Structure 1
Amino acid sequence: MAYVVTENCIKCKFTDCVDVCPVDCFHEGPNFLVIDPEECIDCTLCVPECPAEAILAEDDVPQAQRHFIALNAELAGQWPTILERKEPPADADEWNGKTGKLQYLQR
C-alpha cells in the first residue's frame, strides 16, 4: 500500500513532505505533487508534514478521490523527482481547503 497525494495539494503544492521522504518518491508538476507508488515504502513520515493534509494512505482515500490513486501513478512516470523543499506558491494558503480543484490541475 502506497501513500497518495489528493486534491487539496492542487495549487497549494507545499513541499514540506519532500524533506522527510527517505526514498525520494515525490514528483513535481506545475501546481501539484504526486507520490510514485512503486517507490513509496509506506513510512508515513510525509503525512504529518503536509500543511494541506493532502497525503493519505491508499486505503484511506475517500471514494470521491479514489481516481487520485491512478493519477499519482500516471504522473509520477511523467514528472521529475523533487529532492528538496521549495517555497509554496504565493497564494497557497488561499487555496488550502478549497474543494473542486481538480479542474485546475496542470499537467
Structure 2
Amino acid sequence: MQPTQKYEEDVAFVREAVEKRDRRQYNSIAIVVLWAIILTAGYVVNDFRPEISHLYWPIATSIGFLISIWVGVRAKRVEGVAKRGEGAKHTLHWTSLFFTIAAIVFIAQ
C-alpha cells in the first residue's frame, strides 16, 4: 500500500467521523423525550392538582436532571467519545443553573 493511499484513507475516515458527529443534533433523543414527559406531566399537575404542584416540580426535575446526566454519559460512551473536560463543563453548567433556580424558588417562598 502506498503511503499516499493510506493518508487518503485516514483523511476520508476522519472526514466521515466529523460529518457523522455534525449531522446529529442530539446524542440521545431519550433526553428530549424525558423532558417533554416531565414538562407535560408538570403542566397537567399544575392544572388539575395544584395542591401537589409544589412537590412535583422539585422532585421531578431533580430526578430528570440525574437521569439526563446518566443518559448523556452513556450515549457518549456508546459513541466512543471520551472528553471528560467537555462532559464536566456541561455538567457544571446545568448543575449551576439547577441550583440557581432552586435558590430563587426557595427565596421566593
Give the structure, 1 or 2, with the largest relative contact order (CA under 8 Å, sep 6 or more): 1
Place the TM-score, normalised by the shorter chain, in its bin.
under 0.3
Q: Write 1 or 2 for the structure with the bigger share of strand.
A: 1
Q: Write 1 or 2 for the structure with the bigger share of helix.
A: 2
> Which entry has the higher C-alpha Rg, 1 or 2?
2
TM-score, normalisation: structure 1: 0.26
